[in-house]
Amino acid sequence: MSALVPDPERPGEEDMASRREEEFREAALRNHQQRAACRRASEPGVCTNCGSVCLPLAVYCDEDCRADHEARMRRGAV
């Protein structure tokens, strides 16, 4: 019986795992950058969710708007 000799042209399991990890990290970073680019910047005094006027330093007019906006952000709908 002959022992299996690794093919020098083919990457090993550790190399493949490292490559896959790097691909996953790059994909996650691209996804984050795309979502950040699409995200509307908050403007103090204007509700980030509904666009109505609110307190001068606030970015949400009330807790319901904050909760709605944060829920949509988690779902990726914004």
- Alpha-carbon gap, residue 15 to 31, rounded angstroms: 24
pTM: 0.46
Residues paired with 53 in a beta bridge: 46
Per-residue pLDDT for 62 more than 90? Answer: yes
- pLDDT for residue 77: 58
pLDDT confidence band for 74 (50 / 70 / 90): confident
**CB within 8 Å of 69: residues ≥ 6 apart:** 48, 49, 60, 78
Average pLDDT, whole number, for the chain? Answer: 84
